[in-house]
Amino acid sequence: MKELCRLIGRIKFKILSVIIILMAVNLNFTWAIYFFVYWEVVPPISFSYIKILDTLCYVCVFYINFFPNLTVRKVSTIRNKILEDGVALLQIFLTTMIFEAVYFVILLLIRRPEGVGISFNLPLFWWLGLLVKFFLIEFIIFWNGILRVYLTSRQIGIKWRIIGIICGFMPLVHIYVLCRIIRIAGNEAEWENEKYILNQTRVEYMQCRTRYPILLVHGVFSGISVFLITGEGFRQNS
């Protein structure tokens, strides 16, 4: 039950992390779009509030890069904790990339109330600011995650490491390869964590304690048996 609650908590935190990262990338640009399209209809939110919220999002993104699974409590080995965090970062990266692509498509479809498209009428520095923030945040999250996985995973092996490097420059193929790496490393982290928890349970309830201690003495009893049968053994040493 504790493990199930912990899993649900991690999933919720990942969803929250995706929302925070998307807000950090798009908040200012979305406010600008809102101001440009609907300022005559609905009064825009004060830009000072937007900046405060934007700053809080950046602080949260900084935290997510260090603790993508929320907890700092030790639940497994250090190696497995790093691997687990790496998998979480790659999952967050892939999810935010998908939502960001959908957001860009929506931007191309947004029109003013009179039916005029706005996407290509916006100032160029708005687009540049959006793309730079998007690239930097996603770049940091991806390399933070992939380096953790590459340096700690034992199951992905040399094969998938090389495939990941080669296919990283192939559109669409790199998404499939990344999903495979996430799946392999995720299963490894889950299995290692379950094994660690099982061992901790065994220690707690002393399941491996020997009830009747067994003394293993090599050579003594074999020497006595040879002496009783042949009469040799000890005579040679006398």
Mean pLDDT of 105-121: 62
Residue among 79, 81, 56, 57 at smallest CA distance from 68: 81
Of all residues in the chain, what percent are helix, strand and coil, respectively (each to 5)?
Answer: 75, 0, 25
- For residues 178-206, average pLDDT: 81
pLDDT recorded at residue 228: 52
CB 99 within 8 A of CB 21: no
Orientation angle between helical segments 173-205 and 157-167, nearest 10 degrees? 150
pTM greater than 0.85 (yes/no): no
Report the candidate in 101, 88, 100, 86 with the shortest Cα–Cα distance to residue 22.
100
The arithmetic mean of pLDDT across residues 148-165, rounded, is 91
> What is residue 60's predicted lDDT score, i.e. its pLDDT?
92
The distance from CA 169 to its chain's CA centroid, rounded to whole angstroms, is: 22
Distance, in Å, from the CA atom of 43 to the CA atom of 226, rounded to the nearest integer, reads: 102
Q: Where in the chain are the domains? A: 2-205
Arithmetic mean of pLDDT, 29-53: 70
What is the percent of the chain where pLDDT is above 90?
28
The pLDDT tens digits for 5-24 are 666 777 888 888 999 999 99
Query: Span 57-79, mean pLDDT?
Result: 81
